[in-house]
Amino acid sequence: MENTQSSPLLPEMNPVWQQTLGWQPTKEQNDLFERLYEGILSGNRQLNLTRISVLEEFWEKHLWDSLRGVAPLLTSMSSSPRVIDIGTGAGFPGLPVAIAIPQSHLTLLDSTRKKINFLQTLIRELGINNAEAIVGRAEAIGQQPQHRYTYDIALVRAVASASVCAEYALPLLKTGGLAVVYRGYWSEEEKDALTGVVEQLGGVIESIEKFTTPLSNSIRHCLYLRLISPTPAKFPRPVGVPAKQPL
Ligand code: SAH
């Protein structure tokens, strides 16, 4: 209750959205963001999903950061991308993307059943009809025909090292599809190692963007990996192998 009517924070952030991403949420989208925040808070009390408990912090780390990674899509209305969020946890970055880009279709994947149960309830309660939450391991669904080579975009935030994220994400993309790997710190040395890994998977590093977050000025990076030819059948390797023996 405490945040439903009384908090003016989210609408007040619209100029910041506009300045930083050239986009701003409608009133309906801000209402959904607020209900998402409340849903996460109440889920947290039971499940300890994420440490975030202040609305400002939620806005920056969960809403703004999630959408910064897909900024170009926010303003291009033409396509209806199929998007998978690998290791979505409490629904990030996937749920803000589903709310902000209504023409997209989101598959939220996590290996933890209790997180997916929570998300299925939350999606239903919020009436988000362009997202579904499924339990599974990225290595397993990457070998299933209903998922392999079928997505336009794969999002991965805070799941594993960049090369492990690449092995999870690229097999799920169609040729021409894009993986967005969200990172905090990033260095040139890491880029050299990742270049060879992405090549083995049929992709290229298209760009690496460095930016600072608008409230706390924290450094972030997004790695954009483009699939240019189908990933060889041997990838992803069996469950657990990518993390134990990174490429
Ligand atoms: N992306 C979210 C959550 C990060 S925590 C965020 O940024 O807030 C990492 C999540 O990835 C956990 O929920 C964990 O269950 C999931 N995960 C880790 N390895 C995975 C795998 N191989 N396949 C699917 N989910 C995985």
Q: How far is the CA of 15 from the centre of ligand 1 (A)?
A: 32
Place of tokens 């790695």: 223
Paired strand residues for 157 = 182
* Residue-wise pLDDT tens digits, 174-199: 999 999 999 998 988 889 999 999 99
**For residue 129, what are the contacts with CB-CB under 8 A and spacing of at least 6?**
none
Q: What is the pTM of this model?
A: 0.94
Q: Say if ligand 1 is within 6 A of residue 61 CB.
A: no
Nearest CA residue ID for atom 8, ligand 1:
92
Ligand 1 geometric centre to CA of 234 (Å): 22
pLDDT tens, the chain, 247 aa long: 444 445 568 888 999 999 999 999 999 999 999 999 999 988 877 766 666 668 889 999 999 999 999 998 888 866 899 999 999 999 999 999 999 999 999 999 999 999 999 999 999 999 999 999 999 999 999 999 999 999 999 999 999 999 999 999 999 999 999 999 999 989 888 899 999 999 999 999 999 999 999 999 999 999 999 999 999 999 999 999 999 999 9
Q: How far is the CA of 239 from the centre of ligand 1 (A)?
A: 14
What pLDDT sits at residue 1? Answer: 43
Q: What is the pLDDT of residues 96-126, one digit of tens each?
A: 999 999 999 999 999 999 999 999 999 999 9
Please report the pLDDT score of residue 72 as a whole number.
86
Asked: is 14-244 a CATH 3.40.50.150 domain? The reply is: yes
pLDDT on residue 4: 46
Structure tokens at 139: 């290595």
Write the CA distances from 218 to 130, 204, 210, 213, integer angstroms.
31, 27, 11, 5
Q: Which of 67, 84, 111 for a ligand 1 pocket mutation test, highest count of atoms within 8 Å of Cβ?
A: 111
Is 211 buried (19+), middle (13-18) or exposed (0-12) by CB count in 10 A? middle
